[in-house]
Amino acid sequence: MNVPAPLEIYRAVVEPDWIDYNGHMNVAYYVLVFDRATDAFLDYLGLDEALRDAAGSSTFSVEAHITYQREVVEGDPLRFTTQLLGYDEKRIHYLHRMYHAEAGFLASTVEWMTLHVDLNLRKVGPMPPQIQARLAEVMASHAGLPWPDEAGRVIRRPTGRVQGA
């Protein structure tokens, strides 16, 4: 199967309710729209509603890191790409990039780590073999992509002492 590198499987438009008092998309809605991009990615992998219903199999977010590059405003069309960074039998590590779909600029990124969960036991467990096989296909395609600058970042305060801290 030919897997695009990166994947481009989700689009959205900034909705009026997503705008805050600064006149741009509120930070809470970045998580929402990236979560929707994640749903599209998981569906692409086969971790979809049918698998959840049949096998009680899903993923839970364990860590995420968002970067804000440029603001977006009401009505802006958004285009998302997804790059698989790594996986094992229980984890999926990926990065979404959110672009302005017309102007082309990078607006935001999110690096995400999710865990596969057996919903019947409410415990982390291995993904079904067909999902691991699908991840292997995607990883083979994405392995040649450069490592994203936004991946693996940590937040630190400056090394000098801040006045009043």
Q: What does the pLDDT look like over 80-136, one tens digit per residue?
A: 999 999 999 999 999 999 999 999 999 999 999 999 999 999 999 999 999 999 999
- Note down the domain range covering 80: 7-142
Per the CB < 8 A criterion, the answer to whether 73 and 24 are in contact is: yes
Q: What pLDDT shows up at residue 3? A: 96
Q: What share of the chain is helix, strand, coil (3-state, %, to 5)?
A: 25, 35, 40
Predicted confidence at residue 163, as pLDDT, reads: 60
Any domain includes 153: no
CA angle 51/52/55 to nearest 5° reads: 70
Say whether 150 sits in a helix, a strand or coil.
coil
Smallest CA-to-CA distance from 97 within 52, 41, 141, 55 is with 41
In a domain, residue 1? The reply is: no
The tokens describing 31, both together, are 């998580």
pLDDT value, residue 162:
58
Q: Are 97 and 109 in contact (CB under 8 A)?
A: yes
pLDDT attached to residue 1: 67
Query: Is 125 a domain residue?
Result: yes
- Structural domain contains residue 148: no
Count up the domains in the chain and report the number: 1
Residue 96 forms part of a structural domain: yes
At residue 156, the pLDDT reads 77
Instruction: Tell me the average pLDDT of the chain.
Output: 94
Question: What's 23's domain CATH number?
Answer: 3.10.129.10
Rounded Cα distance between 17 and 38, Å, is: 21
Count CB neighbours of 133 within 10 A.
11
Asked if the model's pLDDT at residue 39 lies above 70, the reply is: yes
- C-alpha span between 152 and 147 (Å, rounded): 10
Does residue 157 lie in a domain region?
A: no
